[in-house]
């Protein structure tokens, strides 16, 4: 062959050629034997081309975040994401939004979640956020000697705490 295909990951001659159709879009990947093995293409346990496409970062339209970017919560970096195809923690989705979000359209049937919502978790979170804000208000009111506001805020805090633990006396 005049122009043998090169492995998409390491540029050695490719001997494994994969085609998968996701949402009517054809994705093609060419790999050498070593990379095919390393990426689990030959693993009977399962293999997804979307996963490989992601690991190889073959989606050129993803704008890379500025070098040195780290997830503020867990310290994960885009370099590690490209290497492993996995994120470090849930907060990474926000930290690396410009990198991850453009990939989603190729990977999924939509880019917005329309399924189940953890209603109880979210309710707890909104109560917690409200409690944090009220406690700040209370400190502020006491500091500036607005005692009527402080009393009202304290009542509200008690109500929110009651909602957290409805069984408490």
Partner 1 sequence: MPREDSTSLAALLSAPSELTDPGSSKTAIVLMTRIRLARNVVGHSFPGWAKSAQREQILTTCRDAVARLPQMKRCFNFAVSDLGELERQILVERHLISRELSGSKGGAGVLISRDQAFSLMVNEEDHLRIQVLRAGLNLKRAWTAINDLDSALEEHLDFAFSPTLGYLTACPTNLGTAMRASAMMHLPALVISNQMEKVVRAVNQLGMVVRGLFGEGSDASGSIFQISNQTTLGEAEEVILKRLGSVLQSIVEHELNARAKLLEADAGKLHDKIGRAYGILQNSHLLTSGEAMNLLSLLRLGIDLGLFPDDQRSLIDRLLIEAQPGHLQHAHRGECDAALRDALRATRLRAEFASFPRPEVRPANPGAAA
- Given the rule CB under 8 A, which residues bind partner 1? 20-24, 42, 44-46, 48, 50-51, 54, 73-74, 76, 80, 84-90, 93, 100, 103-104, 107-122, 124-125
Tokens of 93: 């989705």
Q: How far is the CB of 167 from partner 1 (least distance, A)?
A: 13
In the complex, the smallest distance separating the C-beta of residue 152 from partner 1, rounded to whole angstroms, is 29
Taking the least distance from each CB to partner 1, the nearer of 46 and 68 is 46
Rounded to an integer, what distance in angstroms lies between the CA atom of residue 120 and that of residue 45? 35
CA distance 107 to 89: 20
C-alpha torsion angle, residues 137, 138, 140, 142 (rounded to 10):
160
Q: Which is closer to partner 1, CB of 94 or CB of 155? A: 94
Q: Least separation, in Å, of the C-beta of 30 and partner 1?
A: 18
Q: Which of 2, 32, 3, 4 is nearest to 17 (CA)?
A: 32
- The token duo for 89 is 């923690």
Q: Tell me the sheet residues that pair with 61.
A: none
Nearby residues of 136 by Cβ (< 8 Å), 6 or more positions away: none
Q: 44 vs 169, which CB is nearer to partner 1?
A: 44
With respect to partner 1, which residue has the nearer C-beta, 51 or 149?
51
Minimum distance of partner 1 from residue 129's CB (angstroms): 12
């Amino acid at each position: 062959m005049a122009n043998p295909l090169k492995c998409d990951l390491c540029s050695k001659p490719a001997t494994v050629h994969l085609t998968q159709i996701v949402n009517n879009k054809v994705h093609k990947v060419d790999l050498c034997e070593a990379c095919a093995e390393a990426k689990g293409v030959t693993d009977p346990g399962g293999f997804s081309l979307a996963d490989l496409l992601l690991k190889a970062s073959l989606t050129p339209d993803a704008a890379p975040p500025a070098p040195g970017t780290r997830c503020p919560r867990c310290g994960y970096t885009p370099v590690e994401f490209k290497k492993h195809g996995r994120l470090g923690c849930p907060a990474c989705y926000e930290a690396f939004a410009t990198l991850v979000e453009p990939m989603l359209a190729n990977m999924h049937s939509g880019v917005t979640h329309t399924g189940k919502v953890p209603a109880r978790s979210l309710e707890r979170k909104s109560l917690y956020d409200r409690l944090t804000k009220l406690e700040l208000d209370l400190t502020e009111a006491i500091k500036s000697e607005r005692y009527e506001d402080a009393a009202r805020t304290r009542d509200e805090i008690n109500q929110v705490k009651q909602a957290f633990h409805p069984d408490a006396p």
